[in-house]
Amino acid sequence: MFIQRRIEHMDDNNHKEEELRKEIAFYKKQLNQLTGKGMHSDMLLTAMRHSLKQKNDVFAVLTTLQKKYNVTTPLDTLLAETIKAITANFGMHRSVALVPSAETNKYKLSHHYGYPADVFSVNQPTAITISPQYLTPGAFIRVNKKTEPDETAKQIQMGLALSFFIGLPLLHDDAPVAFIITGRTIERPPFAPVLDKGDIDSLAAIISLLSAVLQNKKLVEVELAKTAVEDENEIIASQRDMLEITLNDLKAAQAQLIQSEKMASLGELTAGIAHEIQNPLNFVNNFSDVNTELIDELKSELATGNVQLANEIANDIKDNEQKINHHGKRADAIVKAMLQHSRTSSGQKELTDINALSDEYLRLVYHGLRAKDKSFNATTKTEFDSSIGKINIVPQDIGRVILNLINNAFYAVDEKKKQIGEGYEPTVSVSTKRNNDKVEIKVTDNGNGIPQKVLDKIFQPFFTTKPTGQGTGLGLSLSYDIVRAHGGEIKVETKEGEGSTFIIQLPTNE
């Protein structure tokens, strides 16, 4: 009888040991999936940073050139300003503009930028033979570390002293009027990254702007020729057509600027997102390491037959897995929020936790600024009304409004800190409050406030109090339009020398 009970007890232990092995294998599989997810997030962030930099570079060049280009600007000036802006803003070392010579497919040097004074002789401009395949719509030439240069590329490398480059034709009426080349003498990431499709697309956007200017110049010339022989009514009609063309161009340019502003706001978040996502990933990695050690201990205890201690260790592993799962979901939520912000708004409203949205952007903007400037520091305060619940909004759009206001608040307190120095504590506060059928979101700073003389202009498009290059003047204008589209209001309370409070009022739609 004793021997039979002993055999049954051993069978029971073997069954439990087999169940534990299966459970351990399941946990290992989960750990591998979470680790892969973390690596994918890091790769995604790196790719997005590079892509955002390229988009911001294009935005900077387009903004600069649109102020200088008009229908009266000569082609020679257009080419000179273009290669200068490309070199300065695209992180390129040298740029040139080639124009057709008397010989077929031969191009001579018209303008260059970024070269030492002794590289080119003014009396003997460099002539390059450009293959016809590079002189058609949509064509381009690119030479980087990964490509093998053809005959045209070799001529460019030798004649223009440029190792790595991209080049695109400037076409007018389907005929090449110039060939724009820009590149780097070295390719050494991250400061001199390998030229990629994003660089080609960036240059193509600039070439498209040049083509549009040339087309408008032609239209103007045609219209001016007509005015010499047409009566007064025809002159008025032609002027109306010209104004309509100009208006459409301005609308297209404004739409491009607005989209670039949206992408720039994501760029502001990138560093903060990297900081935020690192915390849960660290927890995942740490608990994974601990579980690896516990699994070794579990095997050891099972080998000695200590089932009770083995069960305790298994419970510890389970607890750790729950923590891994929690922090993995946190990392996943951050990535999803980032992707949601980067997507073009669908315009569809959805129930959204406005408190969580405000808190998320406050932390991300703060960490983003800290990542760019380690000397930056500010106190942040929050006061959220828990009775609000969820409200029906377009989260991407309202998120951009909150991000812009918080970013402006941090800029204001940082500027005051630079002026006053010690003794001043820069502070930014974000609060929410339910007020009958409305929800109020307030962003408050203790900066210098807004001067009364410009207070009425702050929501106008392209108006900014920031220095040149630090603001487009679109942020508050876009925010105003978004809030009004939600049936709400945005207003500001300010006192010079003491700070400002921006108030967003949104309907609860109940």
3-state SS class at 422: coil
Strand partners, 179: 98, 169
DSSP states of 327-344: HHHHHHHHHHHHHHHHSP
Q: Is residue 437 part of a domain?
A: yes
Cα 321 → chain centroid: 34
Radius of gyration for the alpha carbons in the chain, expressed in angstroms and rounded:
31
What residues contact 45, with CB distance under 8 A and at least 6 apart?
Answer: 270, 273, 274, 277
What residues contact 142, with CB distance under 8 A and at least 6 apart?
Answer: 165, 166, 167, 195, 199, 200
Is residue 499 domain-shared with residue 353, that is, in the same domain?
Answer: yes
DSSP states of 45-90: HHHHHHHHHHHHHHHHHHHHHHHH--TTS-HHHHHHHHHHHHHHHT
**Contact predicate 81/67, CB 8 Å:** no
Cα 473 → chain centroid: 18
The total number of residues shown for the chain amounts to 510
Rounded-to-integer distance, Cα 362 and Cα 402, Å: 8
Confidence (pLDDT) at 444: 94
Is residue 147 domain-shared with residue 113, that is, in the same domain?
Answer: yes
Is residue 178 domain-shared with residue 100, that is, in the same domain?
Answer: yes
Point out the domain boundary residue: 341, 365, 382.
341
pLDDT 10s digits, 290-328: 778 778 777 887 778 787 887 877 787 888 788 778 777
Tokens of 274: 């990297």
Q: Is residue 233 part of a domain?
A: no
Is residue 382 domain-shared with residue 286, that is, in the same domain?
Answer: no
CATH code, 114 = 3.30.450.40
What residues contact 27, with CB distance under 8 A and at least 6 apart?
Answer: 291, 295, 317, 321
Which domain range does residue 467 map to?
A: 349-507
Is residue 375 domain-shared with residue 326, that is, in the same domain?
Answer: no
Rounded-to-integer distance, Cα 368 and Cα 348, Å: 28
Task: Report the candidate in 278, 266, 485 with the shortest Cα–Cα distance to residue 361.
Answer: 266
CATH code, 447 = 3.30.565.10
The strand pair at 427-435 and 379-383 is best described as: parallel
Task: Report the candidate in 105, 89, 85, 108 with the shortest Cα–Cα distance to residue 97.
Answer: 108
Q: Is residue 448 part of a domain?
A: yes
**Contact predicate 16/307, CB 8 Å:** yes
Q: What is the side-by-side strand order in the sheet with 94-100?
A: 127-129, 106-113, 94-100, 175-184, 164-172, 141-143
Helix orientation angle between 307-342 and 232-304, rounded to the nearest 10 degrees: 180
Q: Is residue 8 part of a domain?
A: yes
Number of domains composing the chain: 3
Global pTM? Answer: 0.42
Q: Is residue 42 part of a domain?
A: yes
Q: Is residue 179 part of a domain?
A: yes
Q: What separation in angstroms does the CA of 35 have from each of 316, 321, 323, 403? A: 20, 13, 14, 31
Point out the domain boundary residue: 152, 185, 218.
185
Is residue 391 domain-shared with residue 482, that is, in the same domain?
Answer: yes
Is residue 12 domain-shared with residue 118, that is, in the same domain?
Answer: no
Is residue 123 domain-shared with residue 165, that is, in the same domain?
Answer: yes
What residues contact 427, with CB distance under 8 A and at least 6 apart?
Answer: 378, 379, 380, 381, 413, 445, 446
pLDDT 10s digits, 224-263: 666 666 666 677 777 777 778 867 776 666 556 555 555 5
3-state SS class at 405: helix
Is residue 433 domain-shared with residue 471, that is, in the same domain?
Answer: yes
What residues contact 446, with CB distance under 8 A and at least 6 apart?
Answer: 413, 416, 425, 426, 427, 498, 499
Task: Report the candidate in 186, 68, 176, 63 with the shortest Cα–Cα distance to residue 128.
Answer: 176
Query: How many other C-beta atoms lie within 10 A of the C-beta of residue 145?
Result: 11
DSSP states of 111-139: EEES--TTSSBTTB--EEE--GGGSSTT-
Weakly modelled stretches of the chain, pLDDT under 70? 1-17, 23, 25-62, 64, 66, 68, 71, 121-126, 221-233, 246, 250-279, 330-331, 333-347, 371, 460-475, 509-510
Tokens of 391: 């409200």
Confidence (pLDDT) at 446: 93
Q: Is residue 39 part of a domain?
A: yes
Is residue 414 domain-shared with residue 443, that is, in the same domain?
Answer: yes
Is residue 337 domain-shared with residue 357, that is, in the same domain?
Answer: no
Rounded-to-integer distance, Cα 507 and Cα 488, Å: 6
Burial letters 350-370, b for 16+ CB under 10 A, else e: eebebbebbbbbbbbbbbbbb
* Residue reference for tokens 């293959």: 131
Tokens of 131: 């293959």
Is residue 469 domain-shared with residue 414, that is, in the same domain?
Answer: yes
Rounded-to-integer distance, Cα 472 and Cα 450, Å: 17
3-state SS class at 150: coil
Rounded-to-integer distance, Cα 407 and Cα 479, Å: 13
Confidence (pLDDT) at 153: 92
Point out the domain boundary residue: 151, 185, 219.
185
Task: Report the candidate in 15, 13, 22, 27 with the shortest Cα–Cα distance to residue 319.
Answer: 27
Tokens of 291: 């579980």
**Contact predicate 445/413, CB 8 Å:** yes
Q: Is residue 419 part of a domain?
A: yes
